[in-house]
Amino acid sequence: MGHVMMKQTVYNPKKNKKVATAEKGIALLMVLWVLTILMVLVLSFSLMTRTETYATASFKEGTEKKFLAEAGLERGILELFYRNANKNQAIILEGGEVWRIDGRPYKDQMGEGEYSVRITDESGKININMISDTNADILRNLLKTLGVQEEEVNTIVDSILDWKDADDLHHLSGAESEYYMSLPNPYKAKNANFDALEELLLVKGMTSEILYGDNEKKGIIDLLTVYSGTSKVNVNAAPREVLMAVPGITPEIADSIISFRENDEIKSAGDVGIPPESGPYITFGSSSNVYTIDSAGIKGNSKTAFNVRAKIIIEGSNNYRYLYYKSPA
């Protein structure tokens, strides 16, 4: 009779304990991995939510500032209509303050924000399209008043004259198409009047700093125009920098002009001691019908504003037309 051999399993407590410990370790690692993945997902979702919330709030604030700026623009247009309907009678604000059309800012609250509006009369600016060899001194003086070096001044003025004239002969320090076509991105001289002041950046010698200015000084863009329709500057509307550019007008005379027109309109050179040599460059008009309105929308404690710039022409007692509009400006 045969014997059946049976395999005996011997229980080893130490070995089984190691297996159980290893299985627990793997399970713990899996739990930690799952927790890590969940934490990453939660943090990513939280960051995405915060980013979207910030973006939404930023968009909302930006939109509100834009509408505040537009409201300021409409307020400026309304005030100009009032002046036009009342024969340039001064606008009296709350508290008795007079709103003067000379570029000083006026603020008003609207909801949780405010707008700041500046209106300037284009007749008080130098018309770049009216500059010629005979009256270019006023433009040279203006650039010098803004701190531009004489060599740069000569280049800019001569190049402006060349940009506008119909021929291809350049002034001593100027430039015609031959120069512009040699640039990395070539183009031709316009040989026609400027349609917008931003075109000045195409002219040899002009820089963004000179055109737009910085925190310390005005840019020339705020002192020039293409809309006044005359080569003469209205002393009743000209800013100090433009007055100082007029041949014969000293700093003292410029200050006298500004002081006098606070209370009255200048009707003749004798009112403020303007010398005869200034005569060909100035006029004593009340105002033009073309204005620049700069409006800024400001919200809460925000350090940045939304800016709008428009140039409008008042046509009759109840109509106006945009000549220029930039948003944001």
174-186: per-residue pLDDT in tens? 999 999 999 999 9
At 251 the pLDDT is 96
Kindly tell me if the per-residue pLDDT of 39 is higher than 90.
no
Kindly tell me if the per-residue pLDDT of 4 is higher than 80.
no
At 17 the pLDDT is 53
Kindly tell me if the per-residue pLDDT of 192 is higher than 90.
yes
Identify the CA nearest to 124 among candidates 213, 225, 211: 225
Is the pTM value of this prediction over 0.85?
no
Distances (CA, A) of 15 to 10, 11, 163, 186: 11, 9, 96, 85
Kindly tell me if the per-residue pLDDT of 124 is higher than 90.
yes
Please give the DSSP secondary-structure letter assigned to residue 235: T
262-304: per-residue pLDDT in tens? 888 899 999 999 999 999 999 998 777 899 999 999 987 777 8
Contacts of 307 (CB under 8 A, 6+ apart): 69, 294, 295, 296, 297, 327, 328, 329
Instruction: Average the pLDDT over 68-79 and give the result.
Output: 94
Per DSSP bridges, beta strands 282-283 and 233-234 are parallel
Q: In angstroms, rounded to a whole number, what is the distance separating the alpha carbons of residues 67 and 301?
A: 17
Within a 13 Å sphere around the CA of 311, how many CA atoms are in the beta-carbon half?
17
CB 324 within 8 A of CB 157: no
- Give the dihedral of Cα atoms 142, 148, 149, 154; nearest 10 deg: -50
User: What count of other Cβ atoms lies within 10 Å of the Cβ of residue 112?
Assistant: 9
Instruction: Tokens 């002034």: give the residue.
Output: 171
Instruction: Average the pLDDT over 202-207 and give the result.
Output: 98
Phi-psi region of 165 (alpha: psi -120 to 50; beta: other; left: phi over 0): beta
Terminal CA-to-CA distance of the chain, rounded, Å? 111
At 90 the pLDDT is 66
Identify the CA nearest to 305 among candidates 69, 111, 59: 69
Kindly tell me if the per-residue pLDDT of 111 is higher than 90.
no
222-269: per-residue pLDDT in tens? 999 999 989 999 999 999 999 999 999 999 999 999 999 988 889 999
Kindly tell me if the per-residue pLDDT of 23 is higher than 70.
no
At 29 the pLDDT is 79
Least confident span in 45-49, 106-110, 162-166, 172-176: 45-49
Kindly tell me if the per-residue pLDDT of 21 is higher than 70.
no
Instruction: Tokens 């010098």: give the residue.
Output: 144
Of residues 84 and 73, the one with the higher pLDDT is 73
At 1 the pLDDT is 47
Instruction: Tokens 């209106």: give the residue.
Output: 119
